[in-house]
A = this chain, B = another copy of it.
Amino acid sequence: VTALAAALPGIDVRAWPDTGEPAAVEYASLWGDAAGDMRRFANLKVLFSLGAGVEHILGNPLRPPDVPVVRLIDPAHRTGMIEYVLMRVLHYHRRMPEYAAQQAQGIWRERSQCAPGDRRVGIMGMGELGTGCAEILVRLGFDVAGWSRSPPTIVGVTGFAGRDALAAFLARTEILVNLLPLTPETVGILDAGTLAMLQKNACLINVGRGRHLVEGDLLAALDSGHLAGATLDVFCTEPLQKDHPFWTHPKVTVTPHIAAMTLLQSAVPAIAENVRRHRAGEPMVGVVDPARGY
């Protein structure tokens, strides 16, 4: 609140629930459903998400339907996501889980290693974040494919578009990165059927949303030996429940939703700039199409 107030001189910035007169609230920045029934803010002009995802706003039945929803496009968030995805793609590409198992047994054995050009990485979701990850992976020489609703057109990335192309996309993928937005079409998209389409010994990096993944189906695919590993940063329930099998599964790496961090010093200017644009009648950055969901 302090940082936003400093970035928006002349504007009264308050933290919920201390919002004062509801009719005086013009802009809301929110995460989760903390604010409950948003319709009581009768003069709300914009709903800003405090994250890259907006499903928490669009999925709220008490949302005023005609108020524009804007997602956060934060350079630090993008940087963090690229770091995390790159780190884990390299971890699987360079067979680090196998070397860790060897170390635990005191085994010195070189494993065969393919060049990056022979390693097929598949990225689901080619928006701001997926494109950023694809670009750096291409630069490092990986064989990268992207799957999205409309055909991705990034130099060096093999594009797959729409449900009809999903099977072909998965069939070529050894390391799968999920960066889809969560929409009614993508909930549960990573289930037994789609995971079975991946290459044998494929690995999954889920940095989208927990609800993209049917968690029990992933456990079954890991236990059957079809998938070799999974790095999960997002979960159906967060924090991940104390007794969830992911915590102790030898093929699963759990991180507590930290892949991309929202930093005050980059998120606040992004929101402040959109407030300025809105008040000046200029187009805002990151306006969401509610029908599409992202």
Contact = CB atoms under 8 A, between A and B. Distances in A.
Contact of A113 (B106, B141, B253, B258): B258
Nearest to A258: B110
Contact of A110 (B86, B99, B140, B256): B256
A170 to B, nearest CB: 24
Contacts of A110: 256-258, 261
B239 A108 contact: yes
A111 B239 contact: no
Interface string A65-103: 000000000001001101110110011011010011011
Chain A interface residue bracket vs B: 35 or more
A91 B100 CA distance: 14
Interface string A38-66: 00000000000000000000000000000
A90 B255 CA distance: 14
B87 A83 contact: no
Contacts of A111: 258
Contacts of A91: 87, 91
A83 B79 contact: no
A27 B118 CA distance: 33
Given A86-B90, A96-B87, A261-B113, A79 B256 contact: no
A279 interface: no
A16 interface: no
A163 B96 CA distance: 35
B253 A103 contact: yes
Given A94-B87, A96-B87, A247-B106, A115 B258 contact: no
Contacts of A240: 108
A168 interface: no
A80, A239, A256 interface centre (most CB from chain B within 10 Å):
A256
Interface string A95-128: 0100110110010111101011000000000000
A79 B109 contact: no
B102 A256 contact: yes
25 contacts: A76-B115, A79-B115, A80-B113, A83-B90, A83-B116, A83-B140, A84-B90, A86-B86, A86-B90, A87-B87, A90-B90, A99-B254, A99-B255, A99-B258, A102-B256, A103-B247, A106-B247, A108-B239, A108-B240, A109-B256, A110-B258, A110-B261, A113-B258, A115-B263, A136-B140
